[in-house]
Amino acid sequence: MSAQVVDARLPPHRLLDEPLLSFGNEGGDKHPLRGLRAHGPYSRDSFGSAEIRFALISTTKLYPRARQFLGSLLQEHQPTDRRKYVPPYPGFRAIYGVELSPAEDSVVQLDPALVNAPDPHHAIASALAQAVRQLTVTRSRWDVLVVALPASWRQWKISTDGAFDLHDQLKAFAAPLGLPTQVLWEDRAINFRHICSLSWRLSMAFYAKAGGTPWRLHRASDADVAFVGLSYAIRGGTKDAFVTCCSQVFDADGGGMDFVAYDVGQGFDLENPHLTRDQMRAVMSRSVRLYQDRHAGNLPSRIVVHKTTGFRDGEVDGVFDAWGACDEVECVRVQTSTPWRGVRLVAARPGQGPSQPANWPVQRGTLQFLSGRDGLLYVNGTAPGLASGNNNFYQGAKSIPSPLLVTRDAGAGPLERTAHDVLALTKMDWNNDALYDPVPVTIRYSQTLARVIGHTSGLPDAAYPYRLFM
């Protein structure tokens, strides 16, 4: 029996422009590291301090090497990996215009014998909590708290049942105190051989955690837009599946990244998470207040809410209840796992058929329409002109890229605008030196807070700057 061939065609596709980033001196670039090197950070002229001072917690044995390693951030380094993407690192002051220096009177050295306690997880967490409390006495003399831990302690980072995570415990303890922290593992940082890449990544983290803004999204218009991301988590240490909804609000430039948390309560299915209209209205009302507190009581002209699950009618109503005074309201699902794959085809040479696969993957920013309300967005893909020598760049350089499925459950306007928002927000992770993150920060950051809440029970229900959880 012969196979039946079905002539099927997808709707047309569009290629979205690579989002532009804004840096210091009104400079712009599509490449985050290249832009920092050429123009300095966005907040360079308004940072308000001549130096960033760090306090340090480490073991007595690791302390000297940790100090030496942190001093290397002041030096120049040449790239030894990802050479097509990573530019030379010119030193901390050359990039950010401020010094990076130790707070000599703000050091705590831990006893390496902590791991010999009956419960090393608890012993290490308790010792770190005590050290943090001790350093609050000198809080006015430092900006970022560095915690350098030996590689031998990594086995105690996460408990066997996954309920305990040392990193998240530290963040949850320090955040209510308003203390930004930077964890350095001996094997993942101090011994890391690609010092140029690591210097770029850590320097951005230090600057952002000290209150600086490395870059922002370039604004093509004066329209005020706000973005909200939602995620869910069961609070750690609870027995009644007490669920917290985590959200954060970004302004039109992709800045102002603050979290809010709302305790939903029991009877919530995390396998299929959805809020009632009242619950969604309560969550969104907190986001409204957070935005207004930063914008003199004003509301944006357009609000976009992202989450990874579809919006039910009651949830859409709750969003409109809270943000209804805005001119435009959009509810957008960003699905990270899809069965779709695609390759780019180019015209073949004469006599070789109608088309053939290109040498490079589908271009980043390709939007394949599925309908008027959803489409496949290639966040990962070929980025022309963003490698050294103005060449093509493909992050990861392996496998066929998988697209995001972007579905607008409420709202109007061109789907290209909705997709471009998602594409732009993949470039706003200041804790990452890559060109982009696989998901927008609206999703990534709300998931970060949800993960911390999932490992802790004592994090107060309040608003927090994201830099406290980086």
- CATH pick for 21-209 out of 2.60.370.10, 3.40.50.300, 3.40.50.2300, 1.10.10.10: 3.40.50.2300
pTM equals 0.92
State pLDDT tens for residues 157-208: 998 877 789 999 999 899 999 999 999 999 999 999 999 999 999 999 999 9
Q: CA-to-CA distance for 243 and 225, rounded, in angstroms?
A: 29
CB 246 within 8 A of CB 232: yes
**Residue 1 pLDDT more than 50?**
no
Q: Which amino acid, residue 353? A: G
Q: CA-to-CA distance for 123 and 163, rounded, in angstroms?
A: 16
**Which residues are CB-neighbours of 421 under 8 A, at least 6 positions away?**
225, 227, 304, 332, 440
Helix (H) or strand (E) holding 408: strand 404-410
* pLDDT tier, 415 (very low <50, low <70, confident <90, very high otherwise): very high
Helix (H) or strand (E) holding 144: strand 144-149
The mean-pLDDT minimum among 210-214, 226-230, 260-264, 431-435 falls in 260-264
**Residue 357 pLDDT more than 90?**
no
Q: What token pair was written down for 278?
A: 């009242």
Same fold? 21-209, 220-468: no
CB 259 within 8 A of CB 171: no
Strand partners, 248: 229, 259
Structural fold of domain 220-468: Nucleotidyltransferase; domain 5 (3.30.420)
Q: CA-to-CA distance for 305 and 330, rounded, in angstroms?
A: 6
Query: Could you tell me what percent of the chain has a pLDDT over 70?
Result: 92
Output the CA torsion sign for 157, 135, 192, 81: positive
Q: CA-to-CA distance for 393 and 209, rounded, in angstroms?
A: 29
Output the CA torsion sign for 20, 26, 32, 34: positive
* pLDDT tier, 7 (very low <50, low <70, confident <90, very high otherwise): low
90-94, 262-266, 347-351, range with greatest mean pLDDT:
90-94
Higher pLDDT among residues 387 and 249, named by residue: 387
Helix (H) or strand (E) holding 47: none
The mean-pLDDT minimum among 3-7, 23-27, 115-119 falls in 3-7
Kindly report the length of the chain: 470
With DSSP H G I counted as helix, E B as strand and the rest as coil, what are the percentages for the chain, rounded to 5? 35, 25, 40
**Residue 2 pLDDT more than 60?**
no
CB 342 within 8 A of CB 421: no
Q: Where are the domains of the chain?
A: 21-209, 220-468
